[in-house]
A and B are shown apart, each in its own frame.
Chain A
Amino acid sequence: MAGPGGDMQWCFSQVKGAIDDDVAEADIISTVEFNHTGELLATGDKGGRVVIFQQEIENKNHPQFRSEYNVYSTFQSHEPEFDYLKSLEIEEKINKIRWLPQKNAAQFLLSTNDKTIKLWKISERDKRPEGYNLKEEDGRYKDPNTITSLRVPVLIPMDLMVEASPRRVFANAHTYHINSISVNSDNETYLSADDLRINLWHLEITDRSFNIVDIKPANMEELTEVITAAEFHPHQCNTFVYSSSKGTIRLCDMRVSALCDKHSKLFEEPEDPSNRSFFSEIISSISDVKFSHNGRYMMTRDYLSMKIWDLNMENRPVETYQVHEYLRSKLCSLYENDCIFDKFECCWNGNDSVVMTGSYNNFFRIFDRGHRRDVTLEASRENSKPMQVLKPRKVCAGGKRKKDEISVDSLDFNKKILHTAWHPQDNIITVATTNNLYIFQDKVN
């Protein structure tokens, strides 16, 4: 992974999406997720559409280049709906996509908007039947009197067709807006979390779900925190965590009781009360929580930092990484333009040694835990020549700006990278700007 110098270098591989600056709202990418082998990459957008890319088979002519991702399937997952009771629109925006581990020839994924989760089956068809007795090839029915002999239809090869069909619709279980879904390691159940409640579903059953967490206060005036993200443990099917807008993470064990309102562990970093400001709670709100692949750690992302927690230690994180500390002196403006409420995601690499998250100005940050090194890179069309090595970026917080540095005031806060994903086995990363998907891979010598 690390070259002889110890630093990983990243090269541009591909970019997907339109070049023009005029971005239709429907094209805004809202989620990105690799499947368990990394062969498939799914994206969801604000228009309710899912696009799946597939990695081609090894490039035999150039074995040192990893293969490209090309469009495999695209479908409309969710449509806008109207909640008649509340007179509110239900957005079709895809909040999350989660793949199921593959069990047979077809692929399955869960996609969700604010209210409804759907299980989609993506299957390939590469054969079609030919030689019917009663039908012509073009579908017209034959006159039965003209048929003098019988034949057995045969299956002949045809151009690959990829079909997506909705197999289950899990609806009407959430009063508030769904922010997370997570498939259990038992591959039979999954959870869905909204602002105040978490429900447990069985993948086969759509008309019932169990409520496992409910933090709605009896009196809504007493509401002090909401659920921001939730995830099942990668191996222990009884364990899940959920994060809150107050910067805490609760770990729950479903064996303890049916309703997991009482946590088994509470992860919270003590705060210095003298440092508290109006912004403290807002920037401590956790926007994403992800277990490490080995199941021993979890990572949380709040507005300015990423923290790695050892599941055995609740009172503080074991590692803290500053993503863009220079924004601390800009909180007033970021509050005014609402950017302070942006929800950044984070991800682990395949062996949990490196973590990644996005920032503004189409910058994204990669932290190498082992080598204690970090780098800031930029996703832009200017650095999009094939295999072009990305140059590290530096933001100048104040004082004299060196050459090649960018000052905080020149950052474009409309160019945010909220969604990133890391291939489960390889050093291939994908980063979503507002409406483009960038794929980078590490430099192979």
Chain B
Amino acid sequence: MSEEAEGTMTSEEQQEMEDKVISPEKAEEARLKARYPNLGGSDFLRKRLQKGQKYFDSGDYNMAKAKMKNKQLPSAPTEKTEITGGHIPTPQDLPQRKTSIVASKLAG
């Protein structure tokens, strides 16, 4: 630790070294400060209060949702057996309403 060739350390540097030995937390803090020198104080709280992606308006939101849905749901083949126009349907004739939401895999 002592490097006599380069001269004695200042008391500040000595304290820092001691801190590293005593507290791994302080060592981690030093590492963080080295990487991000401009890290500010408590913006965490404010950021936390407003979590979530902001959209321009509801149209923007619905477009984004539609794009995601197209990616996620596998395209299901359309049923050819649907009854149309032959007679007035009864509850038994109507196809089951397809759930637009995929069931949870935990229940599978």
Interface residues of A (CB under 8 A from B): 16-18, 24, 26-27, 29, 43, 45, 47, 49, 51, 71, 74, 76, 80, 82, 84, 86-91, 138-140, 176-177, 195-196, 220, 223-226, 245, 275, 277-280, 282, 328-332, 335-336, 341, 435, 437
B105 touches A17 (CB 8 A): yes
- B side interface size, CB within 8 A: 43
In the complex with contacts A18-B105, A45-B104, A88-B55 CB distance below 8 A = yes
Number of A-B contacts (CB under 8 A): 119
Among residues of A, the one whose C-beta sits closest to the C-beta of B105 is A18
Q: Mark B75-108, 1 if CB is under 8 A from A, else 0.
A: 0000000000000001110000000011111111
In the complex with contacts A223-B46, A275-B25, A328-B24, A45-B106 CB distance below 8 A = yes
Interface residues of B (CB under 8 A from A): 23-29, 31-33, 35, 39, 42, 44-46, 48-58, 60-62, 65, 72, 90-92, 101-108
Give the contacting residue for B48; candidates A51, A82, A226; CB below 8 A: A226
Residues in chain A near residue B26, CB distance under 8 A: 277
A279 to B27, CA, bound (A): 11
Among residues of A, the one whose C-beta sits closest to the C-beta of B39 is A278
Give the contacting residue for B25; candidates A88, A89, A277; CB below 8 A: A277
Residues in chain B near residue A89, CB distance under 8 A: 52-53, 55, 61
Give the contacting residue for A140; candidates B39, B90, B108; CB below 8 A: B90
Give the contacting residue for A87; candidates B29, B56, B91; CB below 8 A: B56
In the complex with contacts A275-B23, A277-B29, A26-B52 CB distance below 8 A = no
B29 touches A176 (CB 8 A): no
Of A16, A74, A138, A278, most buried by chain B (CB within 10 Å of CB) is A278
A27 touches B104 (CB 8 A): yes
B92 touches A437 (CB 8 A): no
Assuming A277-B28, A332-B31, what are 5 further A-B pairs, CB within 8 angstroms?
A18-B105, A45-B106, A275-B25, A280-B25, A330-B28
A309 to B10, CA, bound (A): 44
A17 to B105, CA, bound (A): 5
A178 to B101, CA, bound (A): 24
- Minimum CB–CB distance from A112 to chain B (whole Å) comes to 16
In the complex with contacts A88-B53, A140-B90, A245-B45, A74-B23 CB distance below 8 A = no
